[in-house]
Structures are given as structure tokens and as C-alpha cells.
């Protein structure tokens, strides 16, 4: 039976979950996978944390050098997070010929090219299923399940924190601040939630997933990003009346005009599958030219779901001696032949507050017509003390046309405020 020694860098939530799966299921893996996987050592500054998780004192390393010099370690698992020291540790492990398994989406997104270059030099594996969508096997699906296809698009809810917040706002009518506080109290959101709520986390993941789906390098700099901090309970209530639910979507499309990659809040029809993905759950819908739609759904974060993806990669490494790398030239920048679409096309929800007087609607409609924006639906709500709420849904139109339209609307004296712009994906 093949023996496989593992080292874990970081014994926080995910490291602890990984350790638990490996130790609890050792005999199961021996029987079903014909692999005897042992945790040879861990690297954790807080030694007591490691001891509390059941790690033996002699297996707690004091430095990365101690880890990579251990001849019994075949696979190094990095679950520290962030860029440094994670990047340096991973590079050292690869330079020593160890296969690396990581859940670190920011590191992979920003430094994938140099990590893979080092892995190739030493014929070492670099696996990162856990970096995107937690326990949902999206990367394995792209690399080993849908190769027969040109992937035309991927659309997903790939950040559990924002999905939890938006679900609470929708179901309970909470404002953003209250829903965020609850997410923080439950451990779904960090004390500093910026990476999640401003869309950075989803953008890291979309950069990785779209690169793999479209077989071309999609750097983070090419991903349009917008967070959820400006979404209000009022927006969600108006959307609900119109038959929509709001989600933070990651959208990637490979079109004849170029690659379109964007992360932003969007209204989706209440009857769509993605609309029913609530709380901290994640989902990704792929569309291939042969298979059509494929939907993956599950927990996008947490000790055991993410640990499940990490252990899956460890087992994969143990059973696949032939190492595979990117299907594209993995460089820091995008290939010069890759075109990107920034003036994308979609529908839009626009909420204005306007003066309560004759001729306002006509003047506003004229602005939309000037920029070739066709209106699908216009709803004038009951007048309030500060003006009349006006809700507009457009037909499909281009992003730059909408921006010019809003800029002009803001200059009209009849428009008191432009309150919201939310894209609509149908």
C-alpha cells in the first residue's frame, strides 16, 4: 500500500478541519483509496492550538525548513491564507520537490504563474481545489469533467459571506449594517469584512475559474468588481415586487468579441436556480458547447467543506503520479491576443427620486432615448416627502451607455437623486 506523508501549514479553522478528516478517516482511505495518509508534521505558531486539536508535541514543527527537510513529507498543505508568509513557504516547498495543496485563492490568483513555474522545474504538483467555492468540486469539474467542451460561460454565487448577508436582508428586511453584524457574530464574516463585501474574494476566484474554463490567463486586473455595501433593503423590496432576488454574482463569458469577467450585485428572476441559493451556500452554473448547462451547489466555506476539498487534492496527488499543469501559457499578464470586453451588455434596474411635477417622466425618457437605452418597465411609486421614487428596468443595453445616461440624469434639476443602479441577469 502506498504511503503518503502530509504536512499542514496553519492549524486554524481549515487546517483543523483538514487534520480531523485525515486522522478520522485514515482507515477509510486505506480501504477505499489504497493510500495510507499520515500527518507527519504541522507548522503552527500557536502550539497550544495544535495540541488541542490532538497533534502530538513531536509533530509540531518550528520552521518551514524543518517541514521541507522531513523526508517523510510528500505533500505540503498551505492553509495560512494571505500572501506572506504563505507564498514564500509554498515556493520553498515546491523548490524542495514537495507537492503543494492550498486553499489560498488570493495567493493563487496573484502568484499562480510563479508558483507553477517553480512546480514545473521540480516536477512537483500544485493543487488548489479548495481555493474556489469551498467543498464544491468546481476545479476538478473543469479539469477532469468537462474537457470535451468549449466552456462558453460560468455564472456563480461564490462568496458565502455576501450571500448570507443578502439572504438576511431579503428574508428579514434587515439593513446592510445589521445583516453584516449578524454574519460577523456567527463567524461568516471577518472583523474586517472588506475582502468579502467589496467583492475582492469573488474576484480572486473568478480570475482562477475563468482562466481554467476558457483556457487562457485572466488576471485579476481584468475583472470588473463591485461589492454589496451600497445595496439597501429598499432596493431588495422593489426587486421583490418585480419578481427578482439579489445576489453577488461572478460572471465569466467567452464570446467572439472577447472575454467578459465581472463581479457585482445583480437581480436574478426568482424562479432561476441561482435565486434559490441562500445563506452561506454557493453555486456555479457552467455552460458548455456540448454538455449545455451544468450546475454545482454546496457549502462554499467552513472547516470540513474546505477540508474536504483539500483532502480530495491530497488523494488525487497520491493516485496520479503524472502531474498536470495549466492548459494555457501561465504568465503574470494576459496573452496579448486575449481581448477583454468592458462595455458588456445586460439589463439594468435604476432607482431615482424625482420632483413631483408634470413633464418629469417625459424629460427622463428623453435622456434614455438619447443614449439608445430602451425601457422595459417604469414604475412611479407613491410620492414621499423628499420626492417621487421612480423605478426603471431597461432592456438589454451596453454598460457605457448606462453610465452616460446616469451622468446626464444626475445633472437634471428634476432628478433629486440617482439612488441605485443594479444589473439584472436573466
Cell of 91: 515556493
Cell of 232: 439597501
Strand positions, DSSP E, 198-239: 224-225
DSSP annotation of 334 reads: P
Backbone φ, ψ for residue 346 (5° rounding): -160, -175
User: Of the residues 98, 205, 247, 253, which is catalytic?
Assistant: 205
C-alpha–C-alpha distance, residues 122 and 125, integer Å: 9
Q: Cell 455576501 appears where?
A: 162
DSSP string for residues in 243-303: TEEEEEEEEEEEETTEEEEEEEEEEEETTSGGGG--TTEEEEEEEETTTEEEEEEEE-SSH
What is Dmax (Cα atoms) for the chain?
Answer: 83
Q: Is 216 a catalytic residue?
A: no
C-alpha–C-alpha distance, residues 60 and 53, integer Å: 12
SS3 content of the chain, % helix, strand, coil (to 5): 40, 25, 35
Three-state helix/strand/coil letters over 144-187? HCCCCCCEEEEEEECCHHHHHHHHHHHHHCCCHHHHHHHHHHCC
What is the Rg, in whole angstroms, of the alpha carbon atoms belonging to the chain?
A: 24
* Active-site amino acid positions: 205
Amino acid at each position: 500500500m502506498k504511503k503518503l506523508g502530509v504536512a499542514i501549514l496553519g492549524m486554524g479553522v481549515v487546517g483543523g478541519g483538514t487534520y480531523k478528516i485525515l486522522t478520522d478517516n485514515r482507515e477509510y482511505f486505506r480501504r477505499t483509496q489504497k493510500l495510507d495518509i499520515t500527518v507527519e508534521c504541522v507548522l503552527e505558531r500557536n502550539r497550544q492550538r495544535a495540541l488541542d486539536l490532538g497533534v502530538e508535541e513531536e509533530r509540531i514543527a518550528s520552521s518551514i525548513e524543518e517541514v521541507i527537510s522531513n523526508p517523510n513529507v510528500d505533500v505540503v498543505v498551505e492553509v495560512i491564507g494571505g500572501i506572506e508568509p504563505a507564498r514564500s513557504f509554498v515556493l520553498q516547498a515546491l523548490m524542495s520537490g514537495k507537492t503543494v495543496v492550498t486553499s489560498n485563492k488570493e495567493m493563487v490568483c496573484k502568484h499562480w504563474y510563479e508558483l507553477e513555474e517553480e512546480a514545473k522545474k521540480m516536477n512537483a504538483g500544485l493543487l488548489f481545489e479548495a481555493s474556489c467555492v469551498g467543498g464544491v468540486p468546481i476545479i476538478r469539474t473543469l479539469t477532469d469533467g468537462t474537457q470535451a467542451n468549449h466552456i462558453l460561460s460560468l455564472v456563480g454565487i461564490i462568496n458565502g459571506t455576501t450571500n448570507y448577508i443578502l439572504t438576511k436582508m431579503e428574508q428579514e428586511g434587515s439593513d446592510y449594517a445589521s445583516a453584516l453584524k449578524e454574519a460577523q457574530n456567527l463567524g461568516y464574516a471577518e472583523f474586517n469584512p472588506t475582502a468579502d463585501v467589496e467583492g475582492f474574494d469573488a474576484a480572486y476566484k473568478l480570475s482562477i475559474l475563468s482562466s481554467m474554463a476558457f483556457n487562457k490567463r485572466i488576471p485579476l486586473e481584468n475583472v470588473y468588481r463591485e461589492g454589496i455595501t451600497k445595496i439597501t433593503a429598499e432596493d431588495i423590496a422593489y426587486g421583490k415586487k418585480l419578481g427578482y432576488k439579489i445576489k453577488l454574482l461572478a460572471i465569466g463569458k467567452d464570446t467572439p468579441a472577447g472575454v467578459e469577467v465581472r463581479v457585482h450585485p445583480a437581480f436574478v428572476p426568482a424562479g432561476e436556480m441561482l435565486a434559490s441559493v441562500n445563506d452561506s451556500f454557493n453555486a456555479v452554473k457552467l455552460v458548455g458547447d456540448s454538455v449545455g448547462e451544468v450546475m454545482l451547489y454546496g457549502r462554499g466555506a467552513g472547516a470540513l467543506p474546505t477540508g474536504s476539498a483539500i483532502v480530495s487534492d491530497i488523494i488525487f496527488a497520491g493516485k496520479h503520479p503524472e502531474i498536470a499543469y495549466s492548459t494555457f501559457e501561465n504568465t503574470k499578464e494576459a496573452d496579448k491576443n486575449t481581448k477583454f470586453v468592458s462595455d458588456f451588455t445586460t439589463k439594468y434596474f435604476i432607482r431615482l427620486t424625482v420632483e413631483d411635477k408634470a413633464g418629469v417622466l417625459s424629460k427622463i425618457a428623453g435622456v434614455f432615448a438619447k443614449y439608445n437605452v430602451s425601457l422595459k418597465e417604469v414604475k412611479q411609486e407613491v410620492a414621499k416627502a423628499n420626492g417621487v421614487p421612480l423605478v426603471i428596468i431597461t432592456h438589454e443595453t451596453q454598460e457605457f451607455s448606462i453610465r452616460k445616461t446616469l451622468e446626464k440624469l444626475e445633472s437634471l434639476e428634476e432628478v433629486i437623486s440617482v439612488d441605485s443602479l443594479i444589473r439584472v441577469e436573466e
